């Protein structure tokens, strides 16, 4: 990779984790956004999806706290009501457009209780097209289930390889890869078990990234936080989550990576904010600790909107509030009192 190319990738990666800012994940698949619309009694049509996403992207002031938005294939091709593409709407506001490029987790041959993420076939050509449509970064997600025996070394290895191949192709195309190995919080496992699995997954992922010649300076990591399983009788508090997550990542994440943009992974809106805040209170860290939230940024907006365009301003206010709260968490200055006061 030419030094100039790496410099551009590194600049974009740093911009995505600029102070007080994080990423909105608006890349829900057709099936996922249908479920979210079903929850408020709204039919998931192309026009309703376009309106909803335009409503979020045109929220005045969100660019103070949102550096980039991950788009779905449908969305990157859509236009706003004023005729601009949704990519242009974001760009005009100073928000960086990105794109989800994986084809989803499928059953892993030889280990049907586990998954591997597909989508490498034809990826080089798709990345070229997305770059032409205005994307400047991309995202690929792999998932790992925790049980007493899982994830298997086999599942960890094949997903690490796919993540690394994706990242190398992204950088070749001039796009910053967001590498998302998600250890799912489903289950009754302890935070200690999550620590061990997360460490193993990240070690394998970075070993493959190195082998595939991915430049760490021009990528971002989107991992889970180290948490108690959702069904664990004893839930770790915010400080314990911060301690475990930072300790784990200091062991395995190279300091050359500009930033870690956490996924919310089933946490409530405020819990995801509080855990990020607790981590940043312990800073400084070798990397920026930021957010790349989907549901944890959008859920209040979706509930306020209810599919009624007359509620658009209320929905935008709810979205902006969550973005602002996570902006505070970026500096460790969020608190429950500030949440209530806002």
Positions marked active-site: 180, 222
- Token reading at 265: 């992974």
Extract the tokens encoding 36: 């979210």
Side-chain-side CA neighbours of residue 319 (13 Å): 31
Question: CA 36, CA 29: separation in Å to the nearest integer?
Answer: 11
R_g (Cα) of the chain, nearest Å = 19
Rounded Cα distance between 233 and 190, Å, is 9
Phi–psi pair at 254, nearest 5 degrees: -60, 145
Taking residue 184's Cβ as centre, other Cβ atoms within 10 Å add up to 18
Spatial separation of the C-alpha atoms in residues 130 and 118, rounded to whole Å? 18
| Strands (E) located in the chain | 22-26, 66-71, 96-100, 105-108, 111-117, 137-144, 176-183, 220-221, 259-262, 288-293
CB 179, CB 138: distance < 8 Å: no
Q: How far apart are CA 300 and CA 281, in angstroms?
A: 26
Q: Distance (Å, rounded) from C-alpha 194 to C-alpha 335?
A: 26
């Amino acid at each position: 990779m030419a030094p100039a190319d790496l410099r551009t990738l590194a600049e974009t990666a740093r911009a995505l984790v600029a102070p007080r800012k994080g990423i909105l994940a608006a890349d829900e698949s057709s099936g996922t956004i249908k479920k979210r619309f079903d929850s408020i009694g709204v039919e998931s049509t192309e026009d309703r999806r376009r309106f909803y996403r335009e409503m979020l992207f045109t929220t005045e002031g969100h660019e103070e706290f949102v550096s980039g938005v991950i788009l779905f294939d449908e969305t990157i091709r859509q236009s706003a009501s004023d005729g601009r593409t949704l990519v242009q709407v974001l760009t005009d506001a100073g928000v960086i457009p990105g794109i989800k490029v994986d084809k989803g987790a499928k059953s892993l041959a030889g280990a049907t209780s586990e998954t591997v993420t597909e989508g490498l076939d034809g990826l080089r050509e798709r990345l070229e097209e997305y770059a032409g449509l205005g994307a400047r970064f991309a995202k690929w997600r792999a998932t790992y289930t925790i049980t007493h025996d899982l994830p298997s070394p086999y599942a960890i290895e094949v997903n690490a390889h796919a993540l690394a191949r994706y990242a190398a192709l992204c950088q070749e195309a001039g796009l910053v890869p967001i590498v998302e190995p998600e250890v799912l919080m489903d289950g009754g496992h302890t935070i200690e078990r999550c620590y061990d699995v997360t460490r193993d997954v990240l070690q394998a992922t970075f070993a493959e990234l190195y082998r595939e010649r991915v430049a760490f300076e021009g990528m971002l990591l989107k991992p889970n936080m180290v948490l108690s399983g959702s069904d664990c009788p004893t839930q770790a508090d915010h400080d314990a989550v911060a301690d475990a997550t930072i300790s784990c990542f200091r062991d395995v994440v190279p300091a050359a990576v500009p930033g870690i943009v956490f996924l919310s992974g089933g946490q409530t809106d405020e819990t995801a904010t509080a855990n990020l805040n607790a981590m940043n209170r312990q800073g400084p860290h070798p990397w920026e600790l930021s957010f790349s939230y989907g549901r944890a940024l959008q859920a209040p907006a979706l509930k306020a909107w209810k599919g009624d365009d007359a509620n658009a301003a209320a929905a935008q206010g709810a979205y902006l509030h969550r973005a602002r709260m996570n902006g505070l968490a970026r500096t460790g200055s969020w608190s429950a009192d500030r949440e209530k006061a806002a």
